Structure 1
Amino acid sequence: MPGLLLETLRGQRADAVPMWLMRQAGRYLPEYRELRADKGGFLELVYDTDAAAEVTIQPIRRFGFDGAILFSDILIVPYAMGQQLAFLAGEGPQLTPRLAEHPLSSLVAVPERLAPIYRTVGKVKAALGPETTLLGFAGSPWTVATYMVNGEGSRDQHETRALAYRDPARFQAIIDTITQVTVEYLVGQIEAGAEAVQLFDSWSGSLAPDEFERWVIAPNTAIAVAIHERCPGVPVIGFPKGAGEKLPAYASETGVDAVGVDETIDPVWAARELPQGMPVQGNLDPLLLLAGGDALVARAEAILRAFAERPHVFNLGHGIDRRTPIEHVERLKATIRGWRG
């Protein structure tokens, strides 16, 4: 029997609401911090299959969430495309060579860099019970491209946006290549045991409407179509953070099976404007989970009420803050588990 989360992502509505939290495997957990200290750097942890599987399972063991999401990073795709990747303390990820200065053709693909990720998926799948859905993921092409072009994160993605305006044909080639690799990467995760996949478009909110259509909706559509053709029955969750009023177009045009809603979106508006019957995921503010208190419970219940008439996966509007107290997560879980719509 599929778990509650998988059934919900397939469009089934139940009285109970499944939950998982973005970045649920991470630094807010003492067991993660202990393992990270033992293993060293972040990338080393991702590529240690046993350790990465353990990190993926830690929040399931502690909280019993309905979904386990693979412990990895969206920049594994450019790493497999041939960019060098390093996570520097206090500075975040660094990719070289920067595509702002070097042609895409300068990269030499290293597809074997994906194999350890598939092994992690297989190891996690073997350890989970049928009630827990295993989620794979990848970054969406626009967001991945912002890192590949700039070589690191940026506040407004100005370098990548400027390149897309200045030389759209060159940028289209970058997007197309990321799209192709992402499809293969997600299919590989599914073949290894992932039961659903999520596309993270963390920087989609920085684009003007026409650019959003070209660099977010179009490549995500291509990925969703390919996954559905090659892996029938595997739900695709699209999460275009910051999409705002463009969210309904994303939901209806891309062909994703479920849509993630960030914390800036009014859930009442989303419930009204998104395609009827489409599963939604979200959308508690991670900072409210950090703050805790009665406001946390009140907001969680308001979100549950707003989405009560459609399939709903409770989640945050983005990743859990590393400073979040464990007891706040426990209180949120109790609220969701106690809810009956």
Structure 2
Amino acid sequence: MSEPMPPLLSVLSGQTLKTPPVWFMRQAGRHLPEYRELRATTPDFLSFCLNPEKAAEATLQPVRRYGMDGAILFSDILVIPMALGQDVRFEAGEGPILGDLPPMALMADKAGSAGAYLAKVGETLKILRSELPKETTLIGFCGGPWTVMTYMLNGRKAHDRSLIRSFVYEQPELVSQLLDVVIEASAQYLLMQAQSGAQVLKIFESWAEGFPDPLFAQLVIEPHKRLIARVRELGVNLPVIGFPRGAEACSLQYAQAVDIQAQALGTATPLELGQALQKIRPIQGALDPVVLRSGGKALDAAIDRLLEAWGQGPYIFNLGHGIFPDTPIAHVEQTLKRIRG
């Protein structure tokens, strides 16, 4: 007799479960005292991410504490610029700072070996597959091509998305060439993750909001289609979750165009829109991390609304954005008790 499919994978196959599987974006992180203690052992953040034993431990911590149905690889989307030869560092109080963009020819040469360059991430995944409970699904990920490009082109001003839109209008050839490179590097990275034990892959397009027509199709939909097609061409058949964060107005357009197995939804998603998307494929999200931090009756009511609206179809319970560092552990426990009964 074959073993039952883990809950999260069951939903990704299109099943509706009485109790939806649960995991939270940024569930491994600063809201956990055990994470803060572990993180303090390595001052440099990227070095921490690329330490297989420590990254695996960070990934396992919320699974041990909460019994989450999904364990997402502890890493960062900016390992791709590193693999392409760009200097990346994190400064306290400033976030990521990237150096000058390397020559395009050099990055194109490096794109095909991005998976090999990031082999330590693969080691993390192998540790996790050996230590995670069988019912816990291991999730790998990469940043969306547009989001990764935003950091690569903006350097010290990585969070000013208006600057990179200027590149789109003023240097379209540069943007097109860089997209090609980032897509290939990301595909090779996801291939390595699949070969190392990931069971699901997620594309985090963190800066998907605010596009005028037709830029959303050009810079989000088409790159995602190309990335997934390339991953499939490389022989990877794992389910893929797409997350165009903040793009609620274009969610249906995205769902109809991109060959993903589930769509993650942000906090601003109307319940009716989620129901419409759920008719196309499974959905994930979209609890407000602010109400999770607040707790109490407001949290219970928010959970109940989502379960009532989306629990009758294939649904993975999650946040619409990452968990805040000052979120009380008791509120996460409250959420899990409310969902699981």
Q: 2:255 aligns with which of 251, 260, 276?
A: 251
Q: 1:169 aligns with which of 169, 173, 196?
A: 173
2:340 counterpart letter in structure 1 = R
Match for residue 104 of structure 1? 104
Match for residue 53 of structure 1? 56
Alpha-carbon shift at residue 214 of structure 1 (Å): 0.6
Q: How does 1:229-308 map to 2 (within 5 A)?
A: 229-231=233-235, 233-272=237-276, 274=277, 276-308=279-311
Counterpart CA distance in 2 for 1:305 and 1:233 is: 32
Does the residue aligned with 1:247 lie in a helix, a strand or coil? helix
* 2:132 matches 1:128: yes
Match for residue 42 of structure 2? 39
Measured on the aligned residues, the alpha-carbon RMSD in Å equals 1.6
Match for residue 148 of structure 1? 152
Alpha-carbon shift at residue 232 of structure 1 (Å): 5.3
Question: Scaled by the length of structure 2, what TM-score is found?
Answer: 0.94
Does the residue aligned with 1:20 lie in a helix, a strand or coil? coil
Alpha-carbon shift at residue 323 of structure 1 (Å): 0.7
Does the residue aligned with 2:318 lie in a helix, a strand or coil? strand
2:338 counterpart letter in structure 1 = T
1:160 counterpart letter in structure 2 = I
* 2:77 matches 1:88: no
Is residue 2–residue 130 contact of structure 1 (8 Å, CA) maintained in 2? Answer: no
Alpha-carbon shift at residue 10 of structure 1 (Å): 1.6
Distance 1:12 1:152, change over 3 A: farther
Is residue 187–residue 230 contact of structure 1 (8 Å, CA) maintained in 2? Answer: yes
Q: 1:27 aligns with which of 15, 18, 30?
A: 30
Counterpart CA distance in 1 for 2:287 and 2:24 is: 10
Is residue 92–residue 152 contact of structure 1 (8 Å, CA) maintained in 2? Answer: no
Counterpart CA distance in 1 for 2:122 and 2:167 is: 33
Q: Which has the larger displacement, 220-229 or 60-69?
A: 220-229
Counterpart CA distance in 2 for 1:234 and 1:124 is: 17
Alpha-carbon shift at residue 170 of structure 1 (Å): 1.5
Counterpart CA distance in 2 for 1:252 and 1:203 is: 20
Once the two structures are superposed, what CA deviation does each residue of 1:45-68 show, in whole Å capped at 9, x if it has no partner?
A: 111110000000000000000000
Alpha-carbon shift at residue 308 of structure 1 (Å): 2.3
Once the two structures are superposed, what CA deviation does each residue of 1:32-86 show, in whole Å capped at 9, x if it has no partner?
A: 0001112222112111110000000000000000000000000011110110111
* 2:21 matches 1:18: yes
Match for residue 69 of structure 2? 66
Counterpart CA distance in 2 for 1:185 and 1:221 is: 16
Alpha-carbon shift at residue 313 of structure 1 (Å): 0.3
Is residue 83–residue 95 contact of structure 1 (8 Å, CA) maintained in 2? Answer: yes
Structure 2 segments unaligned to the other structure (5+ residues): none
1:55 counterpart letter in structure 2 = A
Match for residue 319 of structure 1? 322
Match for residue 201 of structure 1? 205
Q: How does 1:206-217 map to 2 (within 5 A)?
A: 206-217=210-221
Distance 1:264 1:324, change over 3 A: same
Alpha-carbon shift at residue 184 of structure 1 (Å): 0.7
Alpha-carbon shift at residue 317 of structure 1 (Å): 0.4
Q: 2:223 aligns with which of 219, 222, 225?
A: 219
Once the two structures are superposed, what CA deviation does each residue of 1:231-268 show, in whole Å capped at 9, x if it has no partner?
A: 45411000000112200111110111100000011122
Counterpart CA distance in 1 for 2:223 and 2:158 is: 22
Is residue 73–residue 125 contact of structure 2 (8 Å, CA) maintained in 1? Answer: yes
**Among the aligned pairs, what percent are the same residue?**
41
Does the residue aligned with 2:335 lie in a helix, a strand or coil? helix
